[in-house]
Amino acid sequence: MAERAGRTRAARMTGRERREQLVSVGRSLFAEKGFDATSVEEVAARAKVSKPVVYEHFGGKEGLYAVVVDRETACLLGALETALDDPRQHPRVLMERAALAFLTYIDTHEDGFRILVRDSPATHASGTYSSLLGDVAATVEGILAGQLRIRGYKPSDAALYAQMLVGMVAYTGQWWLETRTPSKEQVAARMVNLSWFGLGALERTPELRGR
């Protein structure tokens, strides 16, 4: 009787509600097991629907994965762009906001972040973690180019420094996901401490000294 009641409640979902349910179920499974190890059968079983329902909404596992990744990408990129979208702020404040926004996303969207940092299937050509970081680096590059120009450095170096900064934040974020210590505020402060004072002491024509 309980199983029959559950099926009755599930059958009463609207199309939009069913789609959101499947996205939520898929998100959990992809985070837990990865794309390759997750099957349509598992998605259907956990959602208490038949396999054809999953195919009807997404065309298969690839379609469901694409929706999940696109949503997580938009969420993280939106948070980072919001943190950086205030040219009136001092560059160090922008760096602090971006680092904290990144760590906050990890803290509140753990499943989503785990999905993003996994390898995407070959059929999913866009929306991957690396392309997302590339978008963020492009935004950071624009900010750095202006600051380098003001301080008499070569603006052409901005692209390289942007990749370095974004890489540091991204890798540290993956490490923090598993440790969760110290607090995200402390991690953000220390990342900015290292990067800001490193930028503040830049040599105009750096060279290797050990050669």
pLDDT digits (tens, 9 = 90+) for 51-86: 999 999 999 999 999 999 999 999 998 999 899 888
pLDDT of residue 7: 52
Q: Cα(201)–Cα(198) distance, rounded to whole angstroms?
A: 5
pLDDT of residue 16: 93
pLDDT of residue 209: 86
182 versus 202: which is more confidently predicted? 182
Q: Cα(162)–Cα(13) distance, rounded to whole angstroms?
A: 46
Give the model's confidence band at 133: pLDDT under 50 very low, under 70 low, under 90 confident, else very high.
Answer: confident
Q: Which residues contact 61 (CB under 8 A, 6 or more apart)?
A: 35, 38, 39, 40, 43, 54
pTM above 0.85, yes or no: no
